[in-house]
A and B are shown apart, each in its own frame.
Chain A
Amino acid sequence: KNEVEQSPQNLTAQEGEFITINCSYSVGISALHWLQQHPGGGIVSLFMLSSGKKKHGRLIATINIQEKHSSLHITASHPRDSAVYICAVSGSGGGADGLTFGKGTHLIIQP
């Protein structure tokens, strides 16, 4: 079973700061997902990646397959970015093993 570790668990920053959230996993994967969950809200898929880097607006996700590590970056952070960010990985079971989730990073951006 894959072990997914996220760091930091909690992060408070000021508006405008560059944010980095890290995710490491123990077993080779087929894809890694970054998810966002607002308080009391549903979960939104931000990125799904299996190699390299993806960018969407102020969000950037990178993955290093050899090092079993991924990072989520937020540039020019804003209070509306405050949420729980969850890293999840999928194995090699054809989707049958679902996703293994990290415990999440609780991000607060203060104005």
Chain B
Amino acid sequence: GAGVSQSPSNKVTEKGKDVELRCDPISGHTALYWYRQSLGQGLEFLIYFQGNSAPDKSGLPSDRFSAERTGGSVSTLTIQRTQQEDSAVYLCASSPNTVYNSPLHFGNGTRLTVT
């Protein structure tokens, strides 16, 4: 079956522009996570969705970042007024339940470059 799909795979944008990143999780997976991997840095948690519940936004680095998940499936991560420090690979992962008892399935990421 299909894995986690992310689009676009690469995005180059000018500083100050808004960008929208998309994640299609594996069908039936209730948990969806967004992570960020900056050059030379480890993975950083951004936001977590569990089904239709309100998301945990505690990892979002600033109020320029927002995310939504429609119908408990597809998720979009939006970055407004992008800055150069936003350049990173943005990874989406889903799991059947939670990270307590379910392995994560990662997408291939969106490489964002802010010029």
Which A positions have Cβ atoms within 8 angstroms of B? 30-31, 33, 35, 41-45, 47-48, 86, 88, 90, 93-104
In the complex, the number of residue pairs spanning A and B with C-beta atoms less than 8 Å apart equals 76
Cα A96 to Cα B58 with chains together (Å): 9
Shortest CB-to-CB span from B39 to chain A, Å, is: 13
Q: A98-B99, A104-B42 are in contact. Are A33 and B56 (CB under 8 A)?
A: no
Which B positions have Cβ atoms within 8 angstroms of A? 31, 33, 35, 41-46, 48, 50, 56, 58-59, 91, 93, 97-109
Cα A104 to Cα B37 with chains together (Å): 12
Which B residues are CB-close (under 8 A) to A41?
Answer: 108
Cα A98 to Cα B93 with chains together (Å): 10
Shortest CB-to-CB span from B106 to chain A, Å, is: 4
B42:A102 contact, CB within 8 angstroms = yes
B108:A42 contact, CB within 8 angstroms = yes
Which A residues are CB-close (under 8 A) to B43?
Answer: 86, 88, 99, 101
B42:A43 contact, CB within 8 angstroms = no
Interface residue from B45, B104, B108 paired with A33 (Cβ < 8 Å): B104
Cα A86 to Cα B106 with chains together (Å): 13
Q: A101-B43, A103-B42 are in contact. Are A96 and B48 (CB under 8 A)?
A: yes
Residue of A nearest to B103 (CB): A45
Interface residue from A31, A44, A94, A96 paired with B106 (Cβ < 8 Å): A44
A94:B42 contact, CB within 8 angstroms = no
Which B residues are CB-close (under 8 A) to A33?
Answer: 99, 103-104
Cα A78 to Cα B106 with chains together (Å): 24
Shortest CB-to-CB span from B5 to chain A, Å, is: 11
A97:B58 contact, CB within 8 angstroms = yes
Which B residues are CB-close (under 8 A) to A104?
Answer: 42
B56:A97 contact, CB within 8 angstroms = yes
Q: A95-B50, A96-B56 are in contact. Are A45 and B104 (CB under 8 A)?
A: yes
